[in-house]
Amino acid sequence: MPTDPDSSPDTSPAPSGTHVRWSEILTREHAPSLALVALAVWLHAATTLLLATMIDSILRDIGGERLVAWTVAIYLVGSIAAGSVAGLAAGRFGLRRPMAGAAMVFAAGCVLNAVAPSMPVLLVGRLMEGIGGGGLMALAFVAVGKLFPPRLTARALAVVSTLWGVSALLGPLTGGLFVAYADWRWGLWAFAAQAAALAVWIALVLRREPRPAAPPPLRLPLERLALIAGGVGLIAAAGLDPAPLRSSLCLAGGAAALWGALRIDARRGEGRLFPARAFRPSDPAGAALLMVLCMSFALVSFNAFAPVMLMRLHGLPPMAAGYVMAAVPAGWSTTAVLASSLPPRHDPRAIAIGMCLVALSLPLLALTVPSGPPAAVALVAAMEGAGFGLCWTFLLRRARAFAGPGDAPRVAAAIPTTQQLGFASGAAFAGLAGNAAGFAAGADAETLRVVARTVYLAPLPAAALGLWAMSRFVRAPAPVGAPDGSRG
């Protein structure tokens, strides 16, 4: 997500009494830009579920079971890094060069993965995919604000939201078709071709883009990003060959690196990535970020291990396993649409119910993933997605109300960044838990059941901390001038 406050699209509604028709955006003037944004979002959104359907075939081909969680964690590390600097790069160079560069990095990562002879090589490709995909996603939001007039931004953002739902359907279908009728490597070649085509399309559509008249200096938060990447890497390294002393030192070092990144960020003034008092439960906005971090940390184990478990324990074909995974975004999107009309006074209740559903899904996954049936796993996954979907919009609205002076845009940008940070560190921790429980090539069914229970029960303390932070957030008294939704 863009961290530059000015990069957020103007989503103010059209003037009263007007109705924006789809025909206004599907014109020769705006359709090329809409296609550019759509393909950028598609590449980032679909690649996760594409990998979920292909991961078992990848492991059987090149091995690397002990690194399976890294395929999620390292992608997210790259995505966080790119998303954190994308808005700054767009302000310095315009859209064309950073966006085309992100597309080419994504394409190069797909090519490297398509020819990968081993899991370490594939992980390098996944890092490149994360850098490219995270950059494309953040710059897509910048593009909405720059390429469309304010009255059309709502329609453009509706296309972005729709594509997340479409990717939940087509991502597993695409990966499953390649596994069933061709080879998983061809699926990655196909995405490399799409990314290369996007780079060409960006160069054509934005060829007349004016350069910024007075571009600001590009001050990249390299020290903070390096600490975040190092922290996640140390947490992930703790699970490679679990041993009490070494794993404990890696976990402690990873936590210290992440804490150090936040300490440095707090001293950066207007150059901060996170708002003041981030992750402090005594501050309502800080409690909101702590809640998002903990819940994302706890629930990413589903993405990291469920595809392999569904295929190896329950015999699901790749496409079917992918559609079980797609229940999360499907539940998220459906509930978000149904709940979107709730008035602000219901924000605390919606956030509390949503987060309780998310936390409840962990023990239910520990019951259903080892023993089945797969339909029950899909229902729990949909419940997890519904919980996030119920609270997400209201979480953003309420957190912004508690932001300090000038911090509201930074809070809005920090919530998705915090979510990805939680996903990345949680995936690394899930790898530690799974490997400690015996996940390896050739593991028998009983061992896999133990692994499945472990990876969903181990993060329960993080979920409990998230619920405590949620209670602090929703019970906080309303700030002066805040909407009803800020009253606990």
Domain 1-11+28-215 identical in fold to domain 277-488: yes
pLDDT of residue 121: 96
Domain ranges of the chain: 1-11+28-215, 222-267, 277-488
- Residues comprising the chain, all counted: 488
Residue 9 has pLDDT above 50, yes or no: no
Interval 471-481 mean pLDDT: 79
Instruction: Quick: pLDDT tens for 119-135.
Output: 999 999 999 999 999 88
Structure tokens at 160: 């972005």
Residues whose CB is less than 8 angstroms from the CB of residue 296 and which lie 6 or more positions away in sequence, other chains included:
418, 419, 420, 421, 422, 423, 426
If 0-12 CB within 10 Å is exposed, 13-18 middle and 19+ buried, where does residue 179 land? buried
Instruction: Give, as one character, the DSSP assignment of residue 116.
Output: -
pLDDT of residue 406: 65
End-to-end CA distance of the chain: 29
Q: How far apart are CA 306 and CA 312, in angstroms?
A: 10
Residue 33 C-beta-side C-alpha neighbours within 13 Å: 28
Residue 12 has pLDDT above 90, yes or no: no
Interval 20-24 mean pLDDT: 68
For the chain, the average pLDDT equals: 82
pLDDT of residue 4: 37
Instruction: Quick: pLDDT tens for 251-261.
Output: 889 889 888 88
CATH T-level topology, domain 1-11+28-215: Growth Hormone; Chain: A; (1.20.1250)
pLDDT of residue 482: 55
Residue 370 has pLDDT above 50, yes or no: yes
Q: How confident is the model at residue 216 (pLDDT cuts 50, 70, 90)?
A: low
pLDDT of residue 16: 40
Q: How far apart are CA 30 and CA 37, in angstroms?
A: 11
Interval 348-355 mean pLDDT: 92
Interval 413-417 mean pLDDT: 76
pLDDT of residue 103: 94
Q: How confident is the model at residue 18 (pLDDT cuts 50, 70, 90)?
A: low
Residue 297 has pLDDT above 80, yes or no: yes
Which candidate, 42, 45, 176, 195, places its Cα nearest to that of 109? 195
Instruction: Quick: pLDDT tens for 58-96.
Output: 998 998 888 888 888 889 888 888 877 877 777 778 888
**Tokens 């429980």, residue located:** 437
DSSP per residue, 338-387: HHTT--GGGHHHHHHHHHHHHHHHHHHHHHHHHH--HHHHHHHHHHHHHH
If 0-12 CB within 10 Å is exposed, 13-18 middle and 19+ buried, where does residue 262 land? middle
Count other C-beta atoms under 10 Å from residue 41's C-beta. 24
If 0-12 CB within 10 Å is exposed, 13-18 middle and 19+ buried, where does residue 194 land? middle
CATH number assigned to the domain covering 277-488: 1.20.1250.20
- 113-122, 240-249, 353-362: which has the minimum mean pLDDT? 240-249
Residue 211 has pLDDT above 70, yes or no: no
Phi/psi at 428 (nearest 5 deg)? Answer: -65, -45
Interval 377-384 mean pLDDT: 94
Residue 469 has pLDDT above 80, yes or no: yes
What pTM was estimated for this model as a whole?
Answer: 0.78
Interval 98-115 mean pLDDT: 95
Interval 399-414 mean pLDDT: 72
Q: How confident is the model at residue 10 (pLDDT cuts 50, 70, 90)?
A: very low
Residues whose CB is less than 8 angstroms from the CB of residue 58 and which lie 6 or more positions away in sequence, other chains included:
51, 122, 184
Helices 96-114, 31-62: crossing angle, 10 deg rounding: 20
Q: How confident is the model at residue 1 (pLDDT cuts 50, 70, 90)?
A: very low
Q: How confident is the model at residue 358 (pLDDT cuts 50, 70, 90)?
A: very high
Interval 264-286 mean pLDDT: 80
